[in-house]
Amino acid sequence: MEKRNYRVLLFPFLMGIAVALGILIGYFLSGNPANTTSDGKAKLGDAKVNDILNYILDEYVDTLDATELEDEAISSLLSRLDPHSSYIPASDFEQINEQMEGNFDGIGIEFNIQKDTIMVVAAISGGPSEALGIQSGDRIVEIEGKQVAGVNITNEDVMKKLRGKKGTRVKVGIFRPGSGKSRLYYTITRNKIPIYSLDAAIMLDSKTGYIKISRFSATTFEEYLKAFEKLKNAGMQQMILDLRDNPGGYLNAAVDLCDEFLPNGQKIVYTKGKARKRENYDATSLGDFENGKLVVLIDEGSASASEIVSGAIQDNDRGWIIGTRSFGKGLVQEEVQFEDGSALRLTVARYYTPSGRCIQRNYSNGNDAYYKEVVERMRGTTSDQKEKQASDSLAFKTKSGRTVYGGGGITPDIEVDTDTSGYSGYLAEIVSNGLINKFAFDLVDRSRKDLMSHYSNERIFALKFDASPYLSDFFEFCKRNGIPPDQLAIQKSGNLIKQQLESLIGRALFGNDGYFAVRTKYDNAIAKAIDVMRNGSLAGMKQKN
C-alpha cells in the first residue's frame, strides 16, 4: 500500500502532536516553582535570565517582540533535555488542549471547500447542526447575510466565521440540491462539539470487530465503551484494536482501556523518576473483554500511550501484537500552566511495561537523529538492525516466559510491513493535490440517492462496490486539473488509486465507518490478524510474515 509513504510526509506533523500530547500524568500545576528542591538543595535563581532578556529588549539595535523572545529562549532551553519536554506558547495551547479534552465550541460540521463553495461533508453527531437537520451535500452560501460562495473563501475564514463561544448564534444560508428552494436558512446556536478520538468501530465479519483509535484523549474510554457495546450487540467475539499512527495522550485513558482486557490484579504499567516515587497501575475486577481473542495493530507512528497498551497486552500474553516496531517513547511528561495561557510539559518520569521494560529509544545523538531514524524506518531505507541490536541487549520475559525486548519501542509478535510497491510520483502528486478526494466527493454529490439505494450500509458497500468503471473519468479529471495521465505510473499505482477512491466514496456516504470498511478489506495486517485469530495460538508466536 502507499500509506507508509504518505505517513512519511505527515510524520513531522504527527510527531509534533506526539510531543504535545505526551503521556500526561495529570498533575496540572500553576505558579512558579519553589526556590529549593525536595532534598533542600538551592535552585538556580531566575535573575540572570530575566536580566539578560530585559537587557536585550532595552538595548538591542532593533525592536523585538518580548513574548517571541521569551518563547524562543524557553524552547531552546528545553531542547537540551529530551525530545519530548516541550513548551507550548499561549497562541497554540487552546487548540492543542481542545484535541485532548475532546471538544471545542462551534456549529458541528465537517466541510470541504469545493468549487469555491463550502460543502458540508457531514454534520457531527451530537452537534447543533445535526439537530437542525443540516445534511451531507448541503452548500453554505451565506453567513450572517454575506455571500461566502464564489469569493475565494479559505478554510481559516470558514473557521473564524463558524466557530464561536457556546451559546452564541450564527445564521447561515444553505443551498440544498433537489430541495426546490434557492436558500434554506438556519440559525445555529453554537455548542460544545465533540472531537472524537475513536475513528471507527465496525464488524469485519460475523464475529470480528474492528476498533480504530487515533489518540488517547479525555473522552477515549467513554467512546470505546459505546463502540464496544455496539459491536458486542452485532455479534463480536474477537477484536482487532488498531493503534497505528496513534501518537498517545493521557495515561489514565490507556490504563482504563487495558483494564477492559486484563483480569483483576494483572500489571498494566508503572512509572518512576528521580523526583517521582514508583506508581503502579494494575487491572481491576472491571472489564468486559477479558477472554475474547485480541489483536493490537501498531506501527512506527504508535507512541507513548499506544505503547503502554500494546506493551501490557504483550507482556501479559493477552493477545497478539501485529505490525511494525512502534515509535519508542517511554517518557512521562507533567504539565505546568502559566498565567499567560502558555504551558510547559516536562519529562519527570519513565514508564515501564509489566515485565520491566522501558521502551524509550536512545536520543543521545540529538532530536534530529531521533526523529530521522523513524522516518527512515517508514521509508524502508534502514535495515532497522541498529535499534534492534540495542533492544536485544535488554531482554525481558512475559508472563508465560516468552522473551521480549526494551530500549527501542514495542517489537510486534508478528511483523507485517506495509506494502509500498505501488507507490509512484504520479500517485503522490494527485494525492497531494486532493484530486482523489475531490472526485469522490463530486461523484457522491451527484449520485448519492442512487448509491444509497444500492448500498444500504458500509459493510455491503465495502463488499460490493467497485470503482473500476470510474477510473477513466478520474484520470480525465486529473488531466483537466493539470496532471496528465502517466501510463507507466498508472500501471504501477492503479490498484492503490482504485482502493483510495473506493475508501473516500465510502467516507462520503457513510462517514469514517465507510472509509475503514473499505481500507480494512485491502489491509495486509488485518488479513494476518484474522488468520492468526482463526488458526494461531499465543504459545511460541514470534515470527516474521
C-alpha Rg value of the chain to the nearest Å: 25
Domain boundaries, the chain: 103-194, 198-329+347-420+528-544, 425-521
- Residue range 405-457, pLDDT digits in tens: 888 899 999 999 888 888 899 998 998 888 998 999 899 988 999 999 999 99
| pLDDT score, position 545 | 40
Any catalytic annotation for residue 329?
A: yes
β-strands 320-323, 414-415: how paired? parallel
| pLDDT score, position 137 | 83
In this chain, the answer to whether the domains covering 103-194 and 198-329+347-420+528-544 adopt an identical fold is: no
Amino acid 313 reads I
Which of these is catalytic: 3, 293, 329, 528?
A: 329
Question: What is the C-alpha to C-alpha distance for residues 209 and 198, in angstroms, rounded to an integer?
Answer: 14
Cell of 159: 473557521
What backbone phi and psi angles, to 5 degrees, belong to 152? Answer: 60, 40
- DSSP lists the bridge partners of residue 404 as 396
| pLDDT score, position 458 | 94
CA distances from 377 to 144, 245, 325, 393 (A): 50, 14, 9, 20
- Look up the pTM and report it: 0.83
What backbone phi and psi angles, to 5 degrees, belong to 107? Answer: -95, -15
CATH 3.20.20.100 for domain 103-194, yes or no, is no
| pLDDT score, position 539 | 52
| pLDDT score, position 31 | 38
CA distances from 126 to 123, 130, 132, 190, 191 (A): 9, 7, 11, 12, 10
In the chain, which stretches have pLDDT less than 70?
1-46, 379-393, 537-545
The H-assigned helical ranges of 119-184 are 128-132, 155-162
Question: What separation, in Å, do the N-terminal and C-terminal C-alpha atoms of the chain show?
Answer: 16
What backbone phi and psi angles, to 5 degrees, belong to 297? Answer: -100, 130
| pLDDT score, position 1 | 41
Any catalytic annotation for residue 304?
A: yes
Q: How many beta carbons lie within 10 A of that of residue 188, not counting itself?
A: 22
Give the CATH number of domain 198-329+347-420+528-544: 3.90.226.10
What backbone phi and psi angles, to 5 degrees, belong to 59? Answer: -110, -15
Which of these is catalytic: 217, 304, 326, 424?
A: 304
Torsion-angle region of 19 (φ positive above 0: left; ψ -120 to 50: alpha; else: beta): alpha
DSSP string over 168-206? -EEEEEEE-TTSS-S-EEEEEE-EEEE--SEEEEEESSS
Do 243 and 221 form a contact (C-beta atoms < 8 A)? no
Say how far residue 70 (Cα) sits from the centre of its chain. Answer: 31
Angle at 329 between CA 325 and CA 333, to 5 degrees: 160
- Which residues are within 8 A (CB) of 394 and not within 5 positions of it... i.e. 6 or more apart? 357, 405, 406, 407
| pLDDT score, position 388 | 53
Which of these is catalytic: 199, 242, 256, 315?
A: 315
- The enclosing H or E element of 1 equals none
- Which residues are within 8 A (CB) of 400 and not within 5 positions of it... i.e. 6 or more apart? 317, 538, 539
